[in-house]
Structures are given as C-alpha cells and as structure tokens.
C-alpha cells in the first residue's frame, strides 16, 4: 500500500480499550495503522480503573486512555482526533472513511464505537460517586454498604438479586414505572430480601467533601441512605457505521462477530462494547488483541502462499523484510528493541525527493 498520509492497512474507529489494543497490535506487527477517535466514551467516564491487572485503582479512565494512545503512537501508529461520519467500500475492496475534515483509505477497518448507557431522568447522583454503570467492575466498592438498583425490567430485577452477593441492604427503585419483569422473576424477587421502592426520586444528598452519595429523597417524603447503585435502562449501540456497511446485527442490537471480531462483511471487524459479551475493559482489550492478530494473518506478506509462489515465483531477498520503512525506523529506535535503541535509526528512512520547481 502507498505510504501517503491518508492510506493505511488498518483503520480503527474508536479509541476505547478495544480500539487502542487493536491499533497497538497492528502497529507492533508492522502494519500502517491509524486510530481515529472523537474522544469521550464509557472508559473516559471512569473515575478509577478496576479489574485491569497492572493498572492501579487511582488511574482515571482519561489517564488510562491517554497512556494507551501514547503507546500506539510510540510504535508508529497514527492518531487522528475526529468523528467518522461514513465508511464505504471501494471498487478495489478497500474502505474509504470520511471524517469531519479528511478522507482515509484502508485495507481493513475495525469498528470500536461502543455504546451509550441509557440514563434515567434526574435527579441523579454524580457518575462515579454513587451512579455506576458496570456491575462487575464496581460491585466490590459496595461490599457491606446500602445500595440501590434503578429500573423496572428484567435486568434491574436480576442485578438487585445479584448485589445480595456483596451486601444485605439492596433496594430496587422503579421510580414510579410499572414493573415489566416476568411472573417468574417476580416470584424470585419475593424470595430474596430486596426492598422494592415505587416512589420516584426527588432529591440527592452528597457528602460535601468527597462528593459521594449519602442518600436519596423520595416523593413520599422518605429518605433512604445509599452509598451507590446501578441504573439498568439498557444500551444504545453505536451501529450506524456498521449498518451502513451492511454488517449483520444480533437481536439485541450489537454487531454480530465471530471469535476474532470478523463481521459478516469481508474486511470489516468489530470489537469491544459494540459486540456481544461482557462490557469490561479486560474483555475489550482481549477482543482487540484477537482482532489485531486476525488482521495480521490476513494482510501480512509472508509466508507467501503456494498459489502466489506459482504465480509470482519465490521470494527474492530484496523483498524482505515487509515492514514499511517508517515503521522499521520506529522499531529499531524504540527502547524495547533488542539490544536497545539503534543509534541513528532515524536516518533509516530514505528522504523524499524535493518537489519539482514549476518556475
């Protein structure tokens, strides 16, 4: 592929843990890779990082993501801040990505656009200080503390019962909505020590120093103490790009993928919260790694197939290595290179010829 600024082997849309990991694998495996990210996302909302080996609790989501971007760029991956408005397949089987101010061509495209949690109506506690969206990430924070679960459907009822594994004080807040859980779930709820509160929330009390939730006030004048809880109102998957490409979706609205992130469209991958499975940072990172490896096997030059050898002949010595010159220079100058960074590695790249003088 051409090494011009707008052409890449791999284009990743979305800079969360899944997208970052895919881009990291792409760059380290010697492929021209660009990561396009508009900013924000669920990971950016994390006040602290939980359940990620090697990352301490005091690391915020924004710090975690910033470190990931620095890693991708350190291995020669490109980073573009922008919003991808459209992705179309070209006649030669590549993909054209249109952003708010550029166009990019890529051999493979990876969608890591995630989803947005459906938020209940205010008043609400502060996100990360009493309002939490990841049960398995944050349940540990509320061991032996009073907690709430907001919602009126199956998911809310089940999460309320699940929270009994870590605390004996769980309220299920329907906020005036009629419950929609099944009769079987209703019977199970009755057999668990979960209080169902039907009155809507009218006020929030926070600790003036820490900002953490202390209590919620209800329309009947009651006040109940909570340390935190989980709203369960569903997810809004960001599938516009996937649908525009013709990717199959699941009944639940996620992009349907195989075990390595392949969608129903050749050359298009999807990873992270956009796909079925647990919405967890380590899971997303694993999906990104698997997609990165699958793409590498698709696009790497060697080993050359028997069909290609029959057509083009054996591999000549001057055809190897296949890594592009820019990525080679970055690799041999990197602190992780065998034997340490090679001095003068930045001179490995052939300088571009000067533009012709039109005068």
330/334 Cα distance (integer angstroms) = 6
Residues of the chain with pLDDT under 50: 1-4, 347-359
- What is the DSSP code (8-state) at residue 30? T
No. of H helices and E strands in the chain? 9, 16
- Stated as kind and residue range, the H or E segment containing 106 is strand 103-111
Q: Are 142 and 228 in contact (CB under 8 A)?
A: yes
Q: Which of 322, 324, 281, 274 is nearest to 113 (CA)?
A: 274
User: Hey, is 293 helix, strand or coil?
Assistant: helix
Contacts of 38 (CB under 8 A, 6+ apart): 81, 82, 83, 84
Chain segment 183-229, per-residue pLDDT in tens? 999 999 999 999 999 999 999 999 999 999 999 999 999 999 999 99
Spacing of C-alpha 93 from chain mean position: 26
User: DSSP letter string over 168-219?
Assistant: S-EEEE-TTPPP---HHHHHHHHTTTEEEE-SPEEEEEE-TTT--EEEEEET
d(CA 333, CA 322): 18
DSSP characters over 80-102:
EE--EEEEEE-TTS-EEEEESS-
Residue 28 backbone dihedrals phi, psi, to 5 degrees: -70, -25
Q: What is the pLDDT of residue 353?
A: 47
Biggest alpha carbon–alpha carbon distance for the chain: 88
Torsion on CA atoms 333, 75, 88, 271, rounded to nearest 10: 160
* Separation in Å, CA 1 to CA 50, 99, 175: 40, 21, 56
The pTM is what? 0.90
Output the six-digit token pair for 3.
């090494």
> Coil, helix or strand for 347?
helix
Distances, alpha carbon 203 to alpha carbons 84, 220, 233, 278, 299, in Å: 39, 11, 20, 32, 56
- For 79, the 3-state DSSP assignment is strand
d(CA 174, CA 250): 28
- 236 with 116: CB under 8 angstroms? yes
Residues 6+ apart with CB under 8 A from 41: 14, 15, 16, 65, 114
Long-range CB contacts (within 8 A, 24+) of 330-337: 330/74, 330/75, 330/76, 331/30, 331/75, 331/76, 334/74, 334/75
Cα–Cα distance for residue pair 354/337, rounded to 1 Å: 32
């Amino acid at each position: 592929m051409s090494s011009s600024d707008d052409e890449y082997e791999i284009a990743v849309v979305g800079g969360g843990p899944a997208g970052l990991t895919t881009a990291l694998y792409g760059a380290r495996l010697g492929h021209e890779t660009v990561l396009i990210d508009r900013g924000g996302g669920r990971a950016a909302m994390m006040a602290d990082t939980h359940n990620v080996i090697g990352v301490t609790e005091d690391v915020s989501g924004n710090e975690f993501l910033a470190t990931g971007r620095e890693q991708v760029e350190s291995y020669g991956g490109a980073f573009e801040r922008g919003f991808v408005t459209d992705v179309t397949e070209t006649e030669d089987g590549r993909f054209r990505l249109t952003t708010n101010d550029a166009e990019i061509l890529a051999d493979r495209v990876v969608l890591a656009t995630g989803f947005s949690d459906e938020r209940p109506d205010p008043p609400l506690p502060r996100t990360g200080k009493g309002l939490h969206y990841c049960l398995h990430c944050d349940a540990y924070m509320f061991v032996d503390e009073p907690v709430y679960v907001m919602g009126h459907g199956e998911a809310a009822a089940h999460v309320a019962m699940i929270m009994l594994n870590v605390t004996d004080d769980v309220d299920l807040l329907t906020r005036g909505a009629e419950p929609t859980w099944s009769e079987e779930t209703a019977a199970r709820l009755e057999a668990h020590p979960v209080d169902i509160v039907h009155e809507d929330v009218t006020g929030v009390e926070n600790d003036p120093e820490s900002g953490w939730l202390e209590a919620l006030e209800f329309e009947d004048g009651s006040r109940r103490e909570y340390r935190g809880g989980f709203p369960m109102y569903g997810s809004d998957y960001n599938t516009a790009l996937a649908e525009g490409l013709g990717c199959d979706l699941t009944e639940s609205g996620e992009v349907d993928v195989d075990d390595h992130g392949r969608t129903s469209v050749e050359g298009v991958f999807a990873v992270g919260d956009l796909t079925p499975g647990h919405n967890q940072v380590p899971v997303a990172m694993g999906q990104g790694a698997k997609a990165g490896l699958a793409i590498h096997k698709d696009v790497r030059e060697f080993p050359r197939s028997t069909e290609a050898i029959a057509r083009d002949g054996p591999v000549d010595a001057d055809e190897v290595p296949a890594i592009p010159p820019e990525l080679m220079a970055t690799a041999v100058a990197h602190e992780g290179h065998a034997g340490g960074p090679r001095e003068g590695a930045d001179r490995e790249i052939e300088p571009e010829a000067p533009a012709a003088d039109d005068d």
